[in-house]
A and B are shown apart, each in its own frame.
Chain A
Amino acid sequence: MNTHTTTNDNAPHKEKPPTGLIPIPTTTARALATGGGALTIISAFLAWTWTAAFPGDLTVYGYPGGLQWLVLITGALTTLLGLASYDIKGIRAITPGNADAALKYAALAAFGTAWYTILAISTHLGGLANLEPGGWITAIATLTALTGALALPYPRPRTYPVDPEDTSWEQFKHRTRNGMTVLKGAFAAETPPTPRKLNSYLEILIIITALATGLLVFTYGIGTEYDELFIGFLISVGLGFAALAKAGIVAQISVYTARHRNITLIGAFLAAAAFPFTQSDDQYATIGVYILIFATVALGLNIVVGLAGLLDLGYVAFLGVGAYAASMVSGSPSSPFDIHLPFWAAILVGAAASLIFGVLIGAPTLRLRGDYLAIVTLGFGEIFRLVAMNSDGASGPDITNGSNGISSIPNLKILGFDFGIEHSIAGFTIGRFANYFFLMLLITLVVVLVFRRSGDSRIGRAWVAIREDETAALAMGINGFRVKLIAFALGAALAGLAGTVQAHVTYTVTPEQYQFANTVPPNSAFLLAAVVLGGMGTISGPLVGAALLYLIPNKLAFLGDYQLFAFGLALALLMRFRPEGLIPNRRRQLEFHEAELAPGETPPPAVLSKTGA
């Protein structure tokens, strides 16, 4: 792929005319990409294999199933972006950014999904012979589209010639670096221009469409029934989203959402509330409610870590305190206290207990900074678990019932509404977990509002100032200890809120639910990972991060014992290539990429150091 680059390496840099990675004339390439996309759509309606043994039933002509739908959608996206790249009026408007770069990603998405499916069929059924002609057509169509897309010309990034006096190893490294730059340049897109102001109803309509699409994608992802479909889903969504981002659509929508923040919040809330209505049974509402608990606690942690910059590795303990406090006043038979408070009182007890615990832990530890704080909070998190484990009446006071925990926590009843039984709302059956899903959604909304309002205020600015430079913040008159303690206690109280609901959802509260690291979220390590993965200091970041971190291990059960390994690997790769998280805070993105050169540029070779050797 890089051969023609390397041959030019020794010549001084000249402004080369823009060419593609594959030498095909531009018009042909564009036609190939668009036509390939169109053929992909058609091929999705064909039969790909002869037997229904492969999940999803890909044997029917005229009716796509399972993975074929994903290929169909990515193929449609490719065709659409291909047409947009022809500068056809009307369609051009959907790509305010770089249509060519977007087309490359879309073609890659179609190619990846289709070829993954074909390989999965072959390995699953034992050989390529199991493919019907439809499968072969899909393979060829997506490959054609990808070839065409990669042949599209793009401005070559600047590369530096190889020093002929270098050792061959150095020359090899240099050529590889140049090749990578050229490859990266092919997929690079300049930032799209700021979108012009539309009619605000139109903007709101676009936001609603985006949210509805989000709900649809999420519902589809959560409902994927077999591993192959979920992996295909990840490939399509990941690369498809990249295509939309390169097309400038994501940036455009985020400008609109920033303009209509309240409408976006309400819309997102309604879209989330619509989720249980898309489900026929309680199976996926269970996942939904666990994701919400996890996401809410992650958002609470984001106040402590993302805004105030306090690295808390024992945060899950606050969730535990809230859950234990709520379970003890829930009327559970294994609770040492024989009281049954109504939910509003229980939630206050849970939040207050976490708040007090937060102040008690924060007061001594917040005098430390940085790594020391992280270590001490890690210790306190474990202390909580051990205390809960040992307060069983034998090795300590009889409070928490030891490792058995507090079990048979009764279901909530609010204003006569029993959360434990199914209800029928407008013809939809709403099961137990869906009930709790709605309750948890309200709590998430509260936490989102608290995050947004506290972040954009005097106290929020003080938190960010402390995170940026504590000495300067003190010199500006900020009482650092007090402000940090408020952040710590607020984060704790919000986790406590989530804990009260969690206790009722899970029926049982045991110490083992609140570990530092475990395969099942929420635990401190996963919470922190959700914040860092999603994006520190943003609202949507931890929500997205938590949803992914819950869903991926849950869906990819075949990873088995390698789950944590894959998780670690994914985190390491993400931190290497996107340290600011999936949904970056505007500030942090600048912080991390400041030192980088202009997109697609290799650093100049360090000639001096080499000749010195």
Chain B
Amino acid sequence: MTTNTTEQGQTPAAPAGQTVLDARGVTMRFGGLTAVRSVDLTVNSGEIVGLIGPNGAGKTTFFNCLTGLYIPTEGEVRYKGDILPAKSFKVTAAGIARTFQNIRLFANMTVLENVLVGRHTRTKEGLWSALLRGPGFHKAEAASKARAMELLEFVGLADKAEHLSRNLPYGEQRKLEIARALASEPGLLLLDEPTAGMNPQETRATEELVFAIRDMGIAVLVIEHDMRFIFNLCDRVAVLVQGEKLVEGSSETVQQDDRVIAAYLGEPFEENKS
């Protein structure tokens, strides 16, 4: 796995330079509580960026600020140069797709239908078209279904297209959530703890999947607690502690940073230090 990373690092596919996501001074306050304090973060195209931090550090809150579920109290978020709209469905239309920390699939829809819902922003057919069923409707439905099946093929769920999504095993539900997010043809994919609850094999498979997504030209921002996963995967890692960005840098830099270790494991005793 590590070899894979270093290889990717050397190939020209690495940071192409164009800034996809640019968050500046994002602050989120809930009443007196400041959950996220003035965080800057950029994601460039072709990059996988990790966001780590102890529980309650404000990672998911920060994610919600990026996807329009929360409107940041201060600061601004730009996607490819434009300030993001304040509604989450508009953010998706702009090109940012996300998954959820606790899986939020449409449980009583089939696997295929879940992905088709993800295509919503990229299709136009309204009520009239559905009622009149002209040739355009059938063409668009067929195209959507073909694209959705491609995505299911990509994540390896094509043979379960007609299953109800609630009946999938846990790991496959996570994959389906990723396929559904990809269906909206995003330029940036936000993954909120994609390997939570997975066994080592599944985690490795997810790693491969994320690399494959990056190779499709989609930038990825990922929150995770599994350090091995993060350090294998990411070109850059940012550490969030108590709502503030502590360090940002390559995997090695972050791994060796004393402050990060302190944040996770606590400060060593004074007497040991001296």
Report the minimum CB–CB distance from A306 to chain B (whole Å).
12
CB contacts under 8 Å to A, within B174-211, are 180-181, 184
Contacting residue for B120 out of A450, A462, A486, CB 8 A = A462
Whether A478 contacts B108 by the Cβ 8 Å rule is no
Judged by DSSP, the binding face of A is helix
Contact B127 A476 (CB under 8 A): no
Quick one: closest B residue to A486, CB to CB? B127
Tell me whether B67 and A475 are in contact (CB under 8 A): yes
A590 to B141, CA, bound (A): 27
- Is B100 positioned at the interface, with any CB of A under 8 Å from its CB? yes
Instruction: Give the Cβ gap from A190 to chain B, nearest Cβ, in Å.
Output: 19
CB neighbours (8 Å) of B107 from chain A are 468-469, 591
Neighbouring B residues of A590 by C-beta, 8 Å? 108, 164, 166-167
Q: Given the complex, which residues of B lie within 8 Å of A460, measured CB to CB?
A: 130
Is B131 a contact of A472 with CB atoms below 8 Å?
A: no
Stretch from A51-59, A76-84, A162-170, A451-459 contacting the other chain = A451-459
Inter-chain CA distance A468–B133, complex, in Å, is 26
* Bound: A588/B107 CA distance, A: 11
Q: Are B180 and A476 in contact (CB under 8 A)?
A: yes
B130 adjacent to A478 (CB under 8 Å): no
- Determine how close the nearest CB of chain B comes to the CB of A459; give it in whole angstroms: 5
Q: A457 and B130: CB pair below 8 A? A: yes
Chain A binder among B7-15, B33-41, B71-79, B85-93: B85-93
In the complex, the answer to whether B123 meets A458 with C-beta atoms within 8 Å is yes
* Residue contact B130 to A474, C-beta cutoff 8 Å: no
Tell yes or no: A479 within 8 A of B by CB: yes
Contacts beyond the supplied A479-B89, A591-B107: 6 A-B pairs with Cβ under 8 Å: A454-B127, A458-B125, A474-B88, A476-B118, A480-B89, A590-B166
Q: Tell me if B69 counts as interface (CB < 8 A to partner A).
A: yes
* B229 is an interface residue with CB less than 8 A from chain A: no
B98 within 8 A of A: yes
Q: Which of B117, B141, B144, B164 is close to A465, meaning CB atoms less than 8 Å apart?
A: B117
* Cβ B89 vs Cβ A474 within 8 A: yes
The docked-state distance in angstroms from the alpha carbon of A478 to that of B89 is 6
B273 at the A/B interface (Cβ < 8 Å)?
no
What bracket does the count of chain A residues touching chain B fall in?
A: 20 to 34
B121 in contact with A587 (CB, 8 Å): no
Give the residues from 91 to 137 in chain B that come closer than 8 angstroms, CB to CB, to chain A: 92-93, 97-98, 100, 104-109, 113, 116-121, 123, 125-127, 129-131, 133, 137
Q: How far is the CA of A486 from the CA of B117 in the complex (A)?
A: 17
Q: Is the CB of B69 within 8 A of A459?
A: no
Least CB distance, A432 to chain B, in whole angstroms: 32
Q: Can you offer 30 A-B residue contacts whose CB atoms are under 8 A?
A: A453-B130, A454-B130, A457-B125, A457-B130, A458-B123, A458-B140, A458-B141, A458-B144, A459-B127, A460-B130, A461-B113, A461-B117, A462-B120, A465-B117, A468-B107, A469-B107, A471-B69, A471-B88, A472-B100, A472-B106, A474-B88, A476-B117, A476-B120, A478-B89, A478-B117, A480-B89, A590-B164, A590-B166, A591-B166, A594-B166
Once A454-B127, A475-B69, A587-B109 are accepted as A-B contacts, the answer to whether A469 and B141 lie under 8 Å apart by CB is no
Q: How many A-B contacts if CB must be within 8 Å? A: 110
Contact B117 A587 (CB under 8 A): no
Contact, CB under 8 Å: B109 / A465 = yes
A464-B130 CB under 8 A given contacts A475-B69, A479-B89:
no
- Looking at the assembled complex, report how far the CB atom of B176 sits from the nearest CB atom of chain A, in whole angstroms: 12
Of residues 243 through 293 on chain A, the ones whose CB sits less than 8 Å from some CB of chain B are none
**Is residue A477 within 8 Å, beta carbon to beta carbon, of the partner chain?**
yes
Cβ of A490 within 8 Å of any chain B Cβ, yes or no, is: yes
Q: Which 6 A-B pairs have the closest CB atoms?
A: A477-B121, A457-B130, A477-B92, A472-B104, A468-B106, A587-B108
Could you say which residues of chain B place their CB within 8 Å of the CB of A468?
Answer: 106-109
* B166: A residues at CB distance < 8 A: 590-591, 594
In Å, the complex CA distance between A375 and B120 comes to 31
- Return the chain A residue nearest B118 by Cβ: A476
What separation, in Å, do the CA atoms of A237 and B87 have in the docked complex? 53
**Are A461 and B109 in contact, CB atoms less than 8 angstroms apart?**
yes
Q: Cβ of A473 < 8 Å from any Cβ of B?
A: yes
- Smallest beta-carbon distance A431→chain B, Å: 34
From B140, which residue of chain A is reached at the shortest CB distance?
A458
B119 neighbours in A (Cβ, 8 Å): 458
| Contact residues in B for A450 (Cβ distance below 8 Å) | 131
Please measure, in the bound complex, the distance between the C-alpha atom of A591 and the C-alpha atom of B131, giving whole angstroms: 29
Residue from the list A456, A461, A475, A588 in contact with B88, Cβ < 8 A: A475
B164 contacts across to A, CB distance below 8 A = 587, 590
Considering the complex, give the chain A residue whose CB is closest to the CB of B126.
A459
- Would A453 and B69 count as touching, CB distance under 8 A? no
**Assembled-state Cα–Cα distance A464/B184 (Å):** 18
Are B106 and A459 touching (Cβ within 8 A)?
no
The interface residues of chain B lying within 8 Å CB-to-CB of A474 are 69, 87-89
Chain A 438-458 against B: per-residue CB contact (8 Å), 1 yes, 0 no?
Answer: 000000000001100110111
Q: Which residues 228-265 of B sit at the A interface, judged by CB distance below 8 A? A: none
**Are A477 and B93 closer than 8 Å at their CB atoms?**
yes
Residues on A with beta carbons closer than 8 Å to the beta carbon of B67: 475
Which B residues are CB-close (under 8 A) to A476? Answer: 89, 92, 117-118, 120-121, 180-181, 184
For B132, give the chain A residue with the smallest CB separation: A453
Find out whether the CB atom of B127 lies under 8 angstroms from the CB atom of A490: yes
Give complex CA distance A490, B127 in Å: 9
Interface centre among B88, B100, B137 (most CB of A within 10 A): B88
Contact of A462 among B69, B97, B117, B140 (CB under 8 A): B117
Per the 8 Å Cβ criterion, residues 587-605 of A in contact with B are 587-588, 590-591, 594
Complex contacts, B113 vs chain A, CB 8 Å: 461, 464
Whole-angstrom distance from the CB of A366 to the nearest CB of chain B? 15
* B106 neighbours in A (Cβ, 8 Å): 464-465, 468-469, 472-473
The interface residues of chain B lying within 8 Å CB-to-CB of A480 are 89
| CB nearest neighbor in B for A591 | B108
When C-beta atoms are compared, the residue in chain A nearest to B100 turns out to be A472
State the CA gap A219–B92 with chains docked (Å).
54
CA A454 – CA B164 in complex, angstroms? 21
B residues near A465, Cβ cutoff 8 Å = 106, 109, 117, 120
| Complexed CA–CA distance, A579 and B129 (Å) | 34
Residues of B within 8 A of A454 (CB): 127, 130-131
Beta-carbon contact of B120 and A477 below 8 Å: yes
CB-CB nearest in chain B for A450: B131
Q: Report which residue of B87, B106, B118, B167 has the largest number of chain A beta carbons within 10 angstroms of its beta carbon.
A: B106
